[in-house]
A = this chain, B = another copy of it.
């Protein structure tokens, strides 16, 4: 073995002896990453990988302005929300400025799981209901209650959790609403009172379902008519990823009662939040306390403020639109030359590509999607797979991903499709 291979084998052994076997690694040949910058990650041999997968480092890995803001605040003060402080207020102000005016209050947490868990608690207390509607391959978190709303994780559904199929048609704008209406009917027949509809507004784990624009409108209408709340899970879709808007729900012309956000919020630093209509959280506060030790701490807020500033000053929504559009056009061109590429969906820099049968490799569906992800990794490009059948390529790079990076990705994919 080479030194690098020995090192990887040694690290794998130590993982087995130190970490719980719940941990999983990416790729048939796992990657040891030692540093990263912008859209590039580097392994211990110094080899560069183009990151077309990680949405968390939304403004690029190790952005100097974000690191500096974090370090400066960490050297000055890091404390909680039970003292008066500027940082959480400034952050709440800037977040709410990106939302519809009906959404007017913020509660900070540390992870998207905690944000969704809290949104669930708020929905139960405010509506008196216990029924939740999610999509049938959703992912909403790792806590007890959110794991029960995450069929992607493989565990059992929680009590009162009902599923609907994720949107399939990219043209029928009312189809998803009909599914939700039918589900509310089923709940009513079972005597379960609706608390909320909880959806990832780009339906990431369901295979990236972004179209038709407006598909959430009738669903939200039916939920409100039945006395339920609409929770927009923006943990994956939020912070400009969809390009044309800061939040995924804005593409569909709906106003949520609760908005949850996380992953990209601190560019890797653990910060997340729930934004809500004032009346909703006022009702919750009558019945429950909520305090999160690290939620809204000085350093996390300073970090998230720097992320928002970089998104604005570097024009990352515009870049996401431009690079995403370029990528989708390139993917369509590849599809014309390879039967392995089926439907191409997405908005901004969140793209899902259905994988069919590749006559060159003789593989199809999830086997071909896995081969493509591993083949791209060998060629120095990082993507993932998703969807109920694992047959969707997930392309979701930092929002600083430029046209030159999109070109590299398309070239590597072309090669992987045609040379197994």
Residues of A within 8 A of B (CB): 8, 11-12, 14-15, 17-26, 30-36, 41, 54, 56-57, 61-62, 64, 66-67, 70-71, 74-86, 88-89, 92-93, 96, 104-107, 110-114, 117-118, 120-121, 142-145, 147, 153-155, 262-263, 267-271, 274, 276, 281-282, 284-285, 287-294, 296-297, 299-300
Contacts and interface: CB of A to CB of B under 8 A. Distances in A.
Contact of A20 (B93, B120, B153, B284): B284
A279 to B, nearest CB: 11
A270 B110 contact: yes
Q: Most chain-B Cβ atoms within 10 A of its Cβ — which of A113, A267, A297?
A: A113
Interface of A is mostly: mixed
Nearest to A275: B20
25 contacts: A12-B84, A18-B92, A19-B296, A20-B105, A22-B288, A25-B83, A32-B83, A34-B77, A36-B77, A36-B79, A41-B77, A62-B78, A66-B74, A67-B75, A78-B267, A110-B111, A113-B114, A114-B142, A118-B142, A142-B290, A143-B145, A153-B288, A153-B289, A154-B288, A155-B287
B34 A57 contact: no
A268 B294 contact: yes
A123 to B, nearest CB: 11
A33 B287 CA distance: 29
Contacts of A83: 25-26, 30-33, 41
